[in-house]
Chains A and B, each alone.
Chain A
Amino acid sequence: MKILVADDSRVMRQIVIRTLRQAGYDDHDIVEAEDGRDAYEKVRSEGPDLVLSDWNMPNMTGLECLQALRGSGSTVPFGFVTSEGSAEMREKAADAGALFLIAKPFTADTFTEHLEGVLA
């Protein structure tokens, strides 16, 4: 199984990857993307089984990335890991086809709760 972690912060990508390991997903391949455009391209080239993406990123936001993926026919499971978790953003995420939205700060338990069904 392969997980694509998209965040413009290298530090936050490391924290997400560390939390994935703490949640027990330490045997998955991890691919990193540094913004939405990079994530879009790596979904095409790497074929991940799940995308965990920040929302607010330069060049292309996480939401724009998801919309572009769905527009191109990709059905890759996609979840947001973002510093904002308002009802409005959760609705936008769900409407665009996201499976979940994890608000920062998060814990390993939060990851387990959301990823259990996706990476069974």
Chain B
Amino acid sequence: MEILLFGITREIVGGSTLTVEPEQPLETVGQLKNWLADRYPAIKKLSSLAIAVDSEYADDAHPLAPGQEVALIPPVSGG
């Protein structure tokens, strides 16, 4: 699975996309968040982290499936 990165998460990971290759399949948004937090401790220091699936905010229980567009949404600061 490839995920899109923006803002500070792009800088933490070091690229505008991240290829996620877990040992166990990640079935939900919550599992993806845990996987990311384990590998990138700086993510845990953010005020919040949301995940968008197919460009909609998705809660932790939201299922992940092949073909979805998944993006990390760090705290927004538009305007």
Bound pair (A, B) = no
